[in-house]
Amino acid sequence: MTYIAANNLDDLMHKVFEMLLDGKKRVKATKGWNYEEFGVTLGLRYPRARLSRSESRQILASCLGELLWYLNGSDQLDFIQYYLARYDKASDDTKTIHGAYGPRLLSSNGQNQIENVIQLLRRKPTSRRAAIQLFEARDLVADYNDIPCTCTMQFMIRNGRLNMITYMRSNDAYVGLPHDIFSFTMLQEVMARSLETELGFYRHSVGSLHLYEPNVEAAQRYLSEGFQDTRPMPLMPKKDPWESIEIVKKAEASLRLKSGASIRDLKDQVEPFWADLIRILQIYSLNKSGADKRAIISLKNEMVSDVYESYARKFERRAALRPEQPELPLEKQ
């Protein structure tokens, strides 16, 4: 068993890519040739340092969109494709995703596994049963285009801190790993706030950790960018987070579906931590709609935390390449 630990996501991914490229353990899988290490555990010492600050892997909006897809309990293809076009290959019926985590987290056999874990740890803080199962027996008996890579998530409170251990049967180091670590550590922090504990360690154990050959050049370019500074996300407010999450979900749906709900009113109902995440979703929506850079700059200037400035600038640069459009009020974008 190989153990790799780092303070932040970029340092962790540097070590992972170097290991996979140096190891030269080439394996052919269903999706093609890849470089693989078997039985790897990754440790993120500071789970809030969950964002890549590299030019190539600054993928905050798609990470946030995928997390909200989970927390909505959705298996709908059009929802997740708004953020990640590659999911079109994962659907068996062009409408849904068999392996979607949302229904498995929130309504598997009529059980809300997140709520069940919270209630168990409130009753028995030192319990070792606080585990969520995502890979199920039915996933072995038929072939689907998408089967959960994540098997279990386990939560344990020790010394007043909520620790999390994820076990994955398989993990794509370039495409999947940064999204998974973002979503799972965000869920860990949500659970910690729900349980009124501090955030502990995060461990990410993988049966097959691999890098597909088409992504080798991109991984090498990532390594050539050098090491990034450690910039954790701001602390999640120390209160029950679920009311705020519901408001963020409403804002996300309004932006994705263009329902016309007032995003400014929704931002006013949540703390700055959550309002900044709504602004990221707004910037992403503006970019998809072809807005020019003025609207993106306006939102960037509203940000409470400067942690997200580089992510906003990335969309600003993209918008600068487009012809300027007549300026519209943000609520009309």
Does 235 map to a domain? no
Q: Identify the domain boundary among 191, 224, 257.
A: 224
Residues 106, 115: Cα–Cα separation, whole Å = 8
Query: Which pLDDT value is given to residue 29?
Result: 87
Residues 176 and 281 grouped into a single domain: no
Residues 299, 317: Cα–Cα separation, whole Å = 14
Residues 67, 82: Cα–Cα separation, whole Å = 13
**CA distances to 53, 73, 134, 172, 243 from 168, in Å:** 25, 20, 10, 10, 30
Q: Identify the domain boundary among 193, 224, 255.
A: 224
Residues 158 and 31 grouped into a single domain: yes
Does 236 map to a domain? no
70 pLDDT above the threshold of 80:
yes
Nearest-CA neighbor of 105 among 70, 136, 146?
Answer: 70
Residues 247 and 186 grouped into a single domain: no
Residues 219 and 246 grouped into a single domain: no
Residues 98, 147: Cα–Cα separation, whole Å = 7
Cβ atoms of residues 152 and 134 within 8 Å = yes
Residues 95 and 69 grouped into a single domain: yes
Q: Identify the domain boundary among 176, 197, 224.
A: 224
Does 93 map to a domain? yes
**Residues 6 or more apart in contact with residue 261 via CB below 8 angstroms:** 250, 251, 253, 254
Residues 275-284: what's their mean pLDDT?
A: 96
Query: Which pLDDT value is given to residue 323?
Result: 62
Residues 304-323: what's their mean pLDDT?
A: 83
Does 37 map to a domain? yes
Helix, strand or coil, per DSSP, at residue 298: helix
Residues 147-162: what's their mean pLDDT?
A: 98
DSSP assignment of 186-222, as one string? HHHHHHHHHTT-EEEEEEEEEEEEEEEGGGHHHHHHH
Of 48 and 320, the one with more pLDDT: 48
Residues 70-86: what's their mean pLDDT?
A: 97
Residues 43 and 133 grouped into a single domain: yes
Does 145 map to a domain? yes
Residues 303 and 215 grouped into a single domain: no
Residues 127 and 250 grouped into a single domain: no
**Residues 6 or more apart in contact with residue 327 via CB below 8 angstroms:** 292, 294, 295
Residues 215 and 282 grouped into a single domain: no
Of 151-165, 254-268, 271-285, minimum mean pLDDT range: 254-268
For the whole model, what pTM was predicted?
Answer: 0.94
Residues 270-287: what's their mean pLDDT?
A: 96
230 pLDDT above the threshold of 70:
yes
Query: Which pLDDT value is given to residue 314?
Result: 85
Expressed as residue numbers, the domain containing 297 is 242-332
Query: Which pLDDT value is given to residue 310?
Result: 87
Does 328 map to a domain? yes
pLDDT grade, residue 1 (50/70/90)? Answer: confident
Residues 28, 204: Cα–Cα separation, whole Å = 24
Does 234 map to a domain? no
Average per-residue pLDDT in the chain? 93
10 pLDDT above the threshold of 60:
yes
Residues 120 and 29 grouped into a single domain: yes
**Residues 265-276: tens digit of each pLDDT:** 999 999 999 999
Between vectors from CA 222 to CA 279 and to CA 168, what angle results, nearest 5°? Answer: 75
Query: Which pLDDT value is given to residue 201?
Result: 97
Residues 122 and 251 grouped into a single domain: no
Does 78 map to a domain? yes
Residues 81, 185: Cα–Cα separation, whole Å = 22
**Residues 232-250: tens digit of each pLDDT:** 999 999 999 999 999 999 9
Nearest-CA neighbor of 6 among 204, 236, 219?
Answer: 204
Of 70-74, 182-186, 232-236, 317-321, minimum mean pLDDT range: 317-321
Cβ atoms of residues 190 and 245 within 8 Å = yes
Residues 273, 322: Cα–Cα separation, whole Å = 30
**Residues 195-214: tens digit of each pLDDT:** 999 999 999 999 999 999 99
Cβ atoms of residues 333 and 282 within 8 Å = yes
**Residues 18-66: tens digit of each pLDDT:** 999 998 789 898 888 999 999 999 999 999 999 998 877 788 999 999 9
pLDDT grade, residue 221 (50/70/90)? Answer: very high
Per the structure, how many domains does the chain have?
2
Query: Which pLDDT value is given to residue 331?
Result: 46
Residues 66-92: what's their mean pLDDT?
A: 96
**Which CATH number fits the domain that encloses residue 156?**
3.30.572.10
Residues 189 and 250 grouped into a single domain: no
**Residues 6 or more apart in contact with residue 49 via CB below 8 angstroms:** 7, 8, 9, 230, 231, 232, 233
